[in-house]
Structure 1
Amino acid sequence: MKTFSAALGPRLMLDESSVLDIGSCFVNDVDIAPGRAIPDDGDPRIDHSLEGFLFTCGPDHIRHPDLIDGKSNGHKFPLHGSFSSHPAEIQFWDAQGDDAECRAKVKVATADGGSALLERHWRIDNTTGEVCLQDRVTNTGDRSMARVHMYHMNVGAWLFDDAVHLSGRMLEGGGTPWGFGPDPGSVFCVSAREEGKEWAEVALGPIAALGGSTLKVKFKTDGLPYLQIWRNQAAPAHVLGIEPVSHRLASRKELKESGELEWLKPGESADYALRFAFV
């Protein structure tokens, strides 16, 4: 893990062993990542990634395992796709004034025998403390690849009290308590795209354990038009996830049959962008 921080904003631990995702995320010296308070899905790659504050789903598959087209042996895409556990090659790591900035490339072997390149750019603005992530995914293989992507932003829910709410224009009524739905866990996915707006925003807070801070997340809806929210309080799990995502909550088969599953031809790229700050 490499420490990544600026004069203002969170202190992040970026995971070179797994696509330069975020492991620990320290806010006011409190690590908000869930650690081992997560469900065990039986995939050590995902257990490792899910322990952290942010991990990336894709580039060939998102959500739960599904059959790979054209395979007669029942072989499936792995849980949350192939990104996790691919090491990052740091291209640039420096401070510009008090800002923090880094760039990396990640070569990814996909589950169906293809390949992809993730070009990742992290930056922290020292004047606002906002963390900015820009990703470009290029299909470097010789066959088409589904254009699917999801960011899992996981927070240890032991930090929350009853005052913590989720709020955003895409949510019914403009918001919901963090402990929505039936216990011990629930999930929903809503459209976040709004006419005339490039970015969607969702907030989680105020979090008294973080000095009353609220986590504000923005994501660009041309590549991530949906927002999925997930929580799990089935012990030992105690986690809530904010998850901007490329597709609604449906099986790969259903998305393909409805024409919603888009494809990247060899050499084509897709761009994704995310920002977050504690205010």
Structure 2
Amino acid sequence: MLDIALLSWRGSQIAWQSPAGMRPVDVFAGGPRAFERGFGGFLNTCGFDHIRQPTDGLPLHGSAPFTPARLMDSGENWDAEEPLLYCEGEAVCRRQGDPAYRMRRRVEAPIGGATIRIRDTVEVIGPDPATVLALYHFNVGYPAVRDGTEVLLDKGRVAGPLSIPETEARAATLHRAYGDWADCRVVSPDCGPAIDFRWRTDTLPWLQLWRNLRPHSGVLSIEPCSIGRLTDGANEPSLPLNAGEARSFAIDIAFASTRYNRQFRGGRGAQV
């Protein structure tokens, strides 16, 4: 899916790494929870026919994760107003008789900067209308996640200060994002790295948080997603797109030292 595996900031590893390493997984042949055997690295893209818990023959987080992508272009652009590195690619998610999708992705990193930009377009390429659901599974580990780490959404605290290790995995929580762009910060104490996730809320109006900070796990997942969740855990209804129609998603990730982010602490964010 042209996802992001290793990622470091000023010598500190940001991405959580699974003890199993990076491994290809067939989310259908591997059983309804095959995603849990393969996820790791900084980003796993989930969707597009389904997100969240397995249901109606659809696996955990849908059929998109671990789909091979085709690299279409990559390089550097020194003539742009903001010189940058970039890569572009596409992945096709299709099984005969099921909804079919093409995701086109562009990833940009300004040269000498501290930002990654992800721009996706997901098109329905099958003959029938289909819903387009998306969940971006960003996985953060030590040292970005440590004792005292907080998660802020639109300047309100939605998790933490964390005390690590925890004795059990936590159930996912869902938080509504407001404004044209959501702003979610993972803020570490002392001089640890701080991560600022920003995303467009017209197509990603929710933040889902999940963590397993028990010994030998230690992962915090920041998950911008396209749809809410009912009280029984099922996805809210979503209107399908017609064949040939597409939905676009935009996410920016910026990195800084914690000392520049302390002014954003305080308050509590809305929780659903």
- State the distance in 2 between where 1:131 and 1:22 align: 11
SS at 1:152's partner residue? strand
Please tell me the residue identity of whatever aligns with 2:55: D
Distance in 2 (CA, whole Å) between partners of 1:177 and 1:37 is 25
- In the aligned structure 2, how far is the partner of 1:234 from the partner of 1:162? 13
CA distance in structure 2 between the partners assigned to 1:156 and 1:254 by the alignment: 27
Structure 1 residues 276 and 254 mapped into 2: Cα distance closer, same or farther (>3 Å)?
A: closer
Q: Deviations over 1:106-158 (max 9, x none)?
A: 11115862311001010012253210000000000012212210101101146
Counterpart of 2:188, as a letter, is P
Q: Which runs of 5+ in 1 are unaligned?
A: 1-18, 68-75
Given the two structures, how large is their TM-score scaled by the length of structure 1? 0.77
Corresponding residue of 2:255: 278
Report the CA distance shift for 1:273/1:121 in structure 2 as closer, same or farther (over 3 A).
same
Q: Which residue of 1 aligns with 2:11?
A: 29
Map Cα deviations across residues 35-85 of structure 1 (whole Å, 9 max, x no partner): 2259xx96455532x211111111111011111xxxxxxxx1111111122
Moved over 4 A (4+): 41-46, 251-254
Q: Does the CA-based 8 Å contact 1:37-1:239 persist in structure 2?
A: no
TM-score, normalization: structure 2? 0.79
Number of the residue aligned with 2:206: 226
State yes or no: 1:92 paired with 2:73. Answer: yes
Matched, 1:57 2:29: no
Deviates more, 1:132-141 or 1:143-152: 143-152
What SS class does the counterpart of residue 47 from structure 1 fall into? helix
- Trace 1:93-242 onto structure 2 (pairs within 5 A): 93-97=74-78, 98-109=83-94, 113-157=98-142, 159-169=144-154, 171=156, 174-179=157-162, 183-186=167-170, 187-192=172-177, 194=178, 197-206=179-188, 208=190, 211-242=191-222
How many aligned positions are there? 238
Mapped to 2, the partners of 1:92 and 1:116 lie a distance apart of: 20
Cα pair 1:86 1:107 within 8 Å, conserved: yes
The residue type equivalent to 2:154 in the other structure is R
1:156–1:270 CA distance, 2 compared to 1 (3 A): same
- Structure number with higher helix proportion: 1
